Structures are given as C-alpha cells and as structure tokens.
Structure 1
Amino acid sequence: MALPLWVAVFGLTAIMFPLSLVLLSIRARTPESAVALSGFVQSIGYGIAAIFPLLVGLLHETTDGWQVPLLVVIGVLVASIPAGIVAGRRRTVEDEWERRHGRW
C-alpha cells in the first residue's frame, strides 16, 4: 500500500538538481551574477550534502534506531520550505542589492 507513495517520493528527488539550476538562472540577471550565485550556493549545498548523511548515521548509531534520525530529516525538510519560498521569488540578486544599497 505504501509502495506507490515511496515510489513517488523517491521519483521526485530526481528533479531537485535541475530545479536548483532553474532557480539559479531565475535569480540572476547577468551571467556574472549567475556565476557568483552558483559558486556561493553550490559550495554551501555540497558542504551540507557531504556532512548531513554522516550526521544522520551518527544519530542512528547513537540512538540505536531510526526514529530520531528520521525526525531530524523531517525537521530539516520543514525548515527548508521558507528558504524555497524565498529562493523561488521572481526577483533577481541584483534587484535585492539595489533595493538594499540604492541604485548605482
């Protein structure tokens, strides 16, 4: 009964990387800012992607079960929703810079 749900959830994960590339192109007005934004986002993203599985594994070993690690994963997913909403806005990085620092 839960098999279709898990197939759908795991199938959706394949769109996350292309979605992140689309969000980068939406948020940048110029190629230079796209490169800068991409470098910033990818360094943070790859850092989290490298550390998070290790932390989940350590939680699993420490608690001797999957309940706490899965709750942490759910908490991170829920906490990332506002970040996704902000990242998906139709404003560019340059617009944000100009709004904060005035037009040049």
Structure 2
Amino acid sequence: MSTATRDGRNWTPDYLVSIDPKKCIGCGRCFKVCGRDVMTLKGINDEGDLIDLDDDEDEEVEKKVMVMNDEGACIGCGACARVCPTNCQTHAPAAAEAA
C-alpha cells in the first residue's frame, strides 16, 4: 500500500510488527520518538515472563524491554527504527504484514 507525502511524492509506510526481546536493551529511545503509544516498557522476571513494571513492586526485574502495545496505531514512519541502537525491531509494509 503506497501513499503520498504532502507534496505528492510516493511513500510506502513501513510498520513496526515486532520487537526482539533478546536484542532489546529497554533504552526507551523508540518510545520517546513515537507519539502514538505503539510500544510500552515491560520487565522480564527471572523466569523469562513479561511483567508490568507498576503492578508488583516485589517481583524482581532481570531486564527491561520494549514490547508492542498498540500495533494498529503505527503509521509506519520508521522513526523508532532510526533511533534503535540494537536493531531489534522488524518492520514491514502493509501488504507484507497481511500475508
């Protein structure tokens, strides 16, 4: 699915479809550049389970990672990919995502 920029140039959105928790370092750079709440920060406990950081103060967090929060809100701008220091995100155009 191609769209156009303000001045009519063709542009194909490249949507965020996944974040690799093994590569993500939870730095939050992608979260800061995204104005659409597509991602959120979660914790990973010692058993490898994702946990909300606010819910249980007693549970120990081994690592923090970004996870998908609202995939449908992504506009495919690619800002998150440009600031990610670990290249942990996968992006795809709409046609590839639906396949």
Give your verdict on TM over 0.5: no
Taking structure 2 as the reference length, the TM-score comes to: 0.24
Which structure has the larger Rg?
1
Q: Which has the higher helix share?
A: 1
